[in-house]
Amino acid sequence: MVKTTLKNFIYKSTRYEFWPWYVIYLPLLPVYFFGVLRTRRLLYFTAANPSIDMGGFFGERKNEILNLIPNCHKTISVHITMPMSADELNDALLENNLDFPLVVKPNVGERGDGVCILYSIQELLAYSYTDYIIQEYIDYPVELGVLFYKYPNDIGGRVSSLTRKEFLTVKGNGVCTVEQLLAGSGRSKIYLPMVRQEFQDSLQHVPLKGEKFVVHKIGNHSKGTRFINANAHITDELNATFSEISNQVDGVYFGRYDLKVPSLEHLKRGDNIKIFELNGVSSEPGIMYDQPNVFKAYSILAHHWLALVDISNQNIRNGVRTTPLRQFFSKVLHHFYAKPTF
């Protein structure tokens, strides 16, 4: 056990995708201070997305952001506040043409906390959060993170990070169990404790030879998902597609659309796009985790922070106000130190 823990520590330490957030972000503090000098506002970034609380820095409510997304592209979503009876939950599902399996996530949450796929009303009643979102499960084969930004004074914008998400998967040999296959992979074995806790029934399954068995179907890094740089697929057509979508999302100029599509061709055409989340100024360009070295990742992140400075500056000059310091720190205290609602 100690040997395995040490190996995992060494593996994670030598791969920047597993580094703590502060190791990644602290070297970029000069960019932040440049933004302060440029805008003359400590919290300039909160002006980037006027329609999202604090620009989407943290603690934003997912239901309020989902309401901004055009229905033609939005995954069917229902906001639930407990307590509710089984009959009331069933009625809410029927009214919105929802059926199991369903994706459930906390209304306020980050980095995949509490996100899961549920298969029955009993599981839904047992879900530990009291303020959450229910969404239809979209079984499209391609899941992407599309970071898009545009300057407030411009009509269109650009997709700057197109990230394909590869779920935690093992390839069967007809002999080994899922647990053995996970343990035999340098990256996958890091997630073995999580799989043991959440998918105990899958561990002893023996995939067929050559079979790709998806262990976890939630596209989040904390759930084992690998982020793959797909920027080679960014075209003028794709930029036009997301400029059109973004122009319908009032008051949001910098954000990442998390979505599913049948194929990349559908994405470029704007056809069958199912958006299930939109994140604000705290959005990461997922391609930064698929670079040859950490310095390239820093460069990509710095580029996006500089764009955020310019977007915020234009909005401030156009009359958008930043979040007051007192309100900001009050939300920080409440978000990180208040008793969680679950």
pLDDT per position as a tens digit, 50-84: 999 999 998 889 999 999 999 999 999 999 999 99
The residue length of the chain stands at: 342
Predicted TM-score (pTM) above 0.85: yes
DSSP label of 168: S
Lowest-confidence segment of 9-23, 125-139, 289-303 by average pLDDT: 9-23
Domain boundaries, the chain: 1-71+141-167+217-313, 76-137, 168-216
**Contact (Cβ atoms closer than 8 angstroms) between residue 147 and residue 311:** no
**Contact (Cβ atoms closer than 8 angstroms) between residue 225 and residue 165:** yes
**Of residues 200 and 38, which shows the higher confidence score?**
38
pLDDT band at 23 (very low <50, low <70, confident <90, very high): confident
User: What topology does CATH give the domain 1-71+141-167+217-313?
Assistant: D-amino Acid Aminotransferase; Chain A, domain 1 (3.30.470)
In whole angstroms, what is the distance from residue 198 CA to residue 192 CA?
10
Backbone φ and ψ for 322, nearest 5 degrees, come out as -80, 165
pLDDT in tens, 167-193: 999 999 999 999 999 998 888 889 998
Residue 314 tokens read as 């234009």
Lowest-confidence segment of 161-170, 214-223, 287-296 by average pLDDT: 214-223
Q: What percent of the chain has pLDDT over 70?
A: 96
When the pLDDT of each residue in the chain is averaged and rounded to a whole number, the result is: 92
Q: Does the pLDDT value for residue 341 go beyond 90?
A: no
With residue 182 as reference, give the H or E element that holds it.
helix 178-183
Can 1-71+141-167+217-313 and 76-137 be said to share one CATH topology?
Answer: no
Overall average pLDDT of the 154-162 stretch: 96
CATH architecture of 76-137: 2-Layer Sandwich (3.30)
**Contact (Cβ atoms closer than 8 angstroms) between residue 118 and residue 104:** yes
Strands (E), the chain: 77-81, 102-106, 116-118, 131-136, 142-149, 158-166, 169-171, 212-214, 226-229, 254-261, 274-279
Overall average pLDDT of the 256-274 stretch: 95
In whole angstroms, what is the distance from residue 146 CA to residue 285 CA?
8
